[in-house]
Amino acid sequence: MKARTLFILSILAVSFNAAALTQFKPAVLNAALLFDHNPSTGNVKHSLQSIRDEQGKLQVMTEVKYDRSGCFTNINMVDRVNGRIFHVINKDGVLSSFKGQPITGKVNKHCEITELENEQGKYTFIYNVHGLLEKAVDRDTGKVATLYEYRNSQFPERIRDYNEPRDDRFFIHQEARNSLTRSWYQKVRA
């Protein structure tokens, strides 16, 4: 009986993790994390996102175009709040930019950005078994510059930036977590 229960629980745990890892295509989420925009779900050809102030004036605009396999071909960003403008093109696995911040890099056949060079430095990226961004390593020093920590979802739970005294953590609000746990427990007990 115990073995059967453990087997069923392990299947549920594996299926929960598998379901949690299918919300976004990894290539779409990784590009969103690296270039500061919101990822899109499903098969997307074109994404246009904007943020406006109270008067309706455009503050941030991000446009991303994807090919048939879901790999980005262009990323255009105008961020007036942080003073960033860039237009990145992915052509045959080579990243280049025009207008704005100079960006170069390489993209592999899985649409994972393997190398990136911009105003902040030169980086090599390492991905986990699910194809999600795990580490950004400074190519000059060989040290980990940024670490992305995941749990049971695609979004990182924590992003550790070793170059700046900042540590971004993402939490589920405790009250929401308690109510989810209570409602799940009540359903299981019924």
Q: What is the number of other CB atoms lying within 10 angstroms of the CB of residue 166?
A: 9
- Which residues are CB-neighbours of 109 under 8 A, at least 6 positions away? 93
Q: Where are the beta strands (DSSP E) in the chain?
A: 46-52, 58-66, 72-79, 84-91, 94-100, 104-107, 113-118, 121-127, 133-138, 144-149, 158-161, 166-169
Q: Is the pLDDT of residue 172 over 60?
A: no
Q: Which two tokens stand for residue 140?
A: 């000059």
Q: Using a CB cutoff of 8 Å and minimum separation of 24, what contacts does 48-52 make?
A: none
Query: 154: closest CA among 30, 62, 64, 31?
Result: 30
Q: Which domain holds residue 121?
A: 2-189
| pLDDT for residue 152 | 73
| pLDDT for residue 25 | 83
Lowest mean pLDDT across 4-8, 28-32, 73-77, 178-182: 178-182
| pLDDT for residue 186 | 33
Query: What are the φ and ψ backbone dihedral angles of 183, each rounded to 5 degrees?
Result: -65, -35
Q: What ranges in the chain are assigned the alpha helix state H?
A: 2-20, 26-35, 174-189
**Digit-coded pLDDT (tens) for 23-37:** 778 888 888 888 888
Count of residues in the chain: 190
Q: How many distinct structural domains can be found in the chain?
A: 1
Average pLDDT in the 166-172 region?
A: 49
Rounded distance between C-alpha atoms, residue 75 and residue 62, angstroms? 7
